[in-house]
Amino acid sequence: MTRTAVVLLAVMAAAGTAAGQPTVLRLTWWTDVGLPTPFAFSTLGPGGVVRLTLVYDTLVWKDEQGLIPWLAQAWRPSPDARAYVFTLHDGITWHDGRPLTAHDVRFSFDYYRRHPFRWVDTQLVTGVEVRDRRTVVVRLAQPFAPFLENIAGVVPIVPEHVWRGIEQPERVHDLGVVVGSGPYRLVEYRPEAGLYRFVAFDRYFRGRPRIDEIRYTVTPAERQVLAVQTGQVDQAMATTHDVVRLLTGHPYLRVMETEPLSVARLLFNLDQAPTSLRPFRHAVAHALDRARIGETIVRGPAVVGSAGVVPPTDPWYTPRVHAYPYDPVRARALLRNAGFEDRDGDGVLEGRDGTRLQVELTSTPVRDVDLIEQMLRAVGIDVRLRTVDAATRAQLGAEGRFQMLLTFHTGSGGDPDYLRTWFTGQEANQFAAGSLMRSPAYARLAQLQARAVDPAQRRRYVEAMQIALSEELPTLPLYYRRFYWIYDSRKITLFPTRGGLLNGIPLADNKLAFLR
């Protein structure tokens, strides 16, 4: 009798735990990222656009292997690749219970023409035709090879019945408009403290999420590892490899390493001497021990920068790029051939007219610059440091007011169309001016790869672009960084999204991880 009672109590306790204790995942970021609507989220950093994906869905999505069906269960391009026919999944509902139909897809793209989605430009979509409730045809102004990954996989589909008639969507900050079809509903948002509470959407078309509730809090970046170690949060981000060693053998904390989607690179101004001289740029590439710089900063194994910009770990990488191994002797020889010699014996080279070989390096206060300065000094280049804050660096870069500029950013992964946008002036940020590829041949390759219908042909164009970049060297990638996501394996298992979330974002908050 007693034994039966104990067993019964144990069963009841287990049932109570399973039924009564919702699984709450506590995530953190270093700042508030705005109201998660496609018009009000913060575009400063990728946190805002990724949080959007919990509430809204896209036509396609990505897992660890690449593109997968999402709102659209199937799609096919037209023979000329100027249109894509999407068949929507059956039984999708918005959070307010109304059905999501092909009309909402058409409305979304129409609405974005008037009120641009702030993360990617959708101007290429000229129109959307509704065939029936579940079938839409998205028409493009021209064939666009990255369409599926960079537009269909990024642009959130919004409900027509919520946004129709709203003419200033960025000004709407009512929680009532945050209606999506995604796996989570936003039920609480406190912008002053960056707090978000999402609860699972019971009627999600891909099944109710396994994680019942997701809470986001704010933790200063430098304290995130400590926060997850002390159990204040269940997941945190680090950018140095030492956390892997730190947590090896931990009973439940695991580390997920993303692809190396963040690049540290030097930009050369092609309009100002001496950085306008190609031999000078090549000499700098040989003078810098990029492996040592990367390993010092990452505190572990680093992925050395490829002069063709695409990381060596990426499927689109070609080993035929010019490599620039660390070779100070070669660097000196290149500079000597360009007319720079140490004429007064002070260790710094001078040009034929006696001018010291001096170059200004614009950067935020990071340790990389000390190493760069030492290595360039060793081959006779005098570096003047110009230390500025991030916003000033961005402005100087965008206006081309620099000689050499050190920048760090994500996006070096996923579809390689970034070789076009970064180097032909398509982005309104620090990638824009000063270090663009000027050759018409590169611009033509950039257009051809973007429009290529045949994947093999596209690969040839992309490889040619990498080779052209590595020879011209408007930028020198020093190293690529992985992001290290520490997580509580008792609650969740994280995985690296192929090519990064959306367009090359090394974040771990892939909604699939919350569904599995």
Partner 1 sequence: MAAAPGRWPPGRYAGVMAALVLLNFFLPRLLPGSPLAGTGGEGVAFLPARTAAELRRTYGLDRPMGQQLAQYLAGLARGDLGRSLVSHRPVTTLIAERLPWTVFLVGLAVIVAAVVGGALGTLAAWYPRRALVRLIDPLVVGLGTLPEFLVAMGLIVLLGTGWQLFPASGAVTPFLPRQGPGGLAAWVLDVLHHAALPGATLVAALVPAFFLLSRNALAATVGAPYLLVARGKGLDERRVLWHAWRNALPSVAALLGLRLGYAVTGAALVERIFAYPGMGLLLFEAVGQRDYPVMQGVFLTASAAALAMVAALDTVAARLDPRLRRGAAR
The binding site for partner 1 (CB under 8 A) comprises: 31-32, 34-35, 39-40, 42-47, 116, 118-121, 123, 170-171, 173, 188, 191-195, 197, 215, 217-220, 223, 226, 230, 239, 262, 364, 388-398, 407-411, 425-430, 432, 481, 503, 505
Cβ count near 177 (within 10 Å): 17
Least Å distance, CB 218 to partner 1, is 5
Helix (H, G, I), strand (E, B) or coil at 121: coil
Rounded to an integer, what distance in angstroms lies between the CA atom of residue 320 and that of residue 312?
11
- The minimum distance between CB 230 and partner 1, in angstroms, equals 6
Nearer to partner 1, 99 or 220 (CB): 220
CB closer to partner 1 out of 214 and 464:
214
> Which element (helix H / strand E) includes 68?
strand 67-69
> With respect to partner 1, which residue has the nearer C-beta, 338 or 405?
405
d(C-alpha 102, C-alpha 107), whole Å = 9
- What is the spatial distance between Cα 69 and Cα 57, in angstroms, rounded to a whole number? 11
Cα 441 from chain centroid (whole Å): 27
C-beta pairs of 113-119 under 8 Å, 24+ apart in sequence: 115/39, 115/169, 115/170, 117/38, 117/39, 117/155, 117/156, 118/38, 118/39, 118/41, 118/43, 119/43, 119/49, 119/154, 119/502, 119/503
| Pairwise CA distance, residues 321 & 307, whole Å | 7
Structure tokens that stand for 220 in this block: 């200063």
CB of 253 vs partner 1, minimal distance in Å: 16
Please report how close the Cβ of residue 315 comes to partner 1 at its closest, in angstroms: 21
Compare residues 116 and 328 and give the one whose CB is closer to partner 1.
116
Q: Which is nearer to partner 1, 47 or 274 (CB)?
A: 47
Residues 277, 304, 290, 237, CA torsion sign: positive
Min dist. Cβ of residue 390 to partner 1 (A): 4
Least gap, CB of 440 to partner 1 (angstroms): 20
Measured from the CB atom, is 178 or 338 closer to partner 1? 178
Strand pairing category for 404-410 and 358-363: parallel
- Complex with partner 1: residue 216 or 461, whichever CB lies closer: 216
For residues 58 and 137, the answer to whether their CB atoms sit within 8 Å is: no
Closer to partner 1 by Cβ: residue 135 or 426: 426
- Cβ 444 to partner 1, closest distance in Å? 20
Q: Closest approach of Cβ 240 to partner 1, in Å? A: 12
Give the whole-angstrom CA distance, residue 237 versus residue 223: 10
Phi and psi dihedrals of 245, rounded to 5? -65, -40
- The Cα 33–Cα 27 span in angstroms is 13
User: Which of residues 48 and 380 has its CB atom nearest to partner 1 in the complex?
Assistant: 48
Rg (the chain; Cα; Å): 26
**Cα separation of 360 and 383, whole Å?**
6
CA 86/CA 430 separation, integer angstroms: 36
Asked if omega into 274 is within 30° of 0 (cis), the reply is yes
β-partners of residue 140 are 125
For every residue of 304-362, DSSP letters joined together read EPPTTSS-TTSTT--TTS----S-HHHHHHHHHHTT-B-SSSSSS-B-TTS-B-EEEEE
Cβ at position 58, least distance to partner 1 in Å: 16
The minimum distance between CB 356 and partner 1, in angstroms, equals 27
Closest to partner 1 by CB, 49 vs 359, is 49
Distances (CA, A) of 88 to 4, 70, 91, 132, 203: 52, 8, 9, 10, 16
Complex with partner 1: residue 394 or 404, whichever CB lies closer: 394
Is residue 285 within 8 A of residue 307, CB to CB? The reply is yes
Residue number with CB closer to partner 1 (173 or 343)? 173
Give the span between the Cα atoms of 312 and 304, in whole angstroms. Answer: 8
Between 120 and 270, name the residue whose CB sits nearer to partner 1.
Answer: 120
Q: In the complex, what is the shortest distance from the CB of residue 392 to partner 1, in angstroms, rounded to a whole number?
A: 4
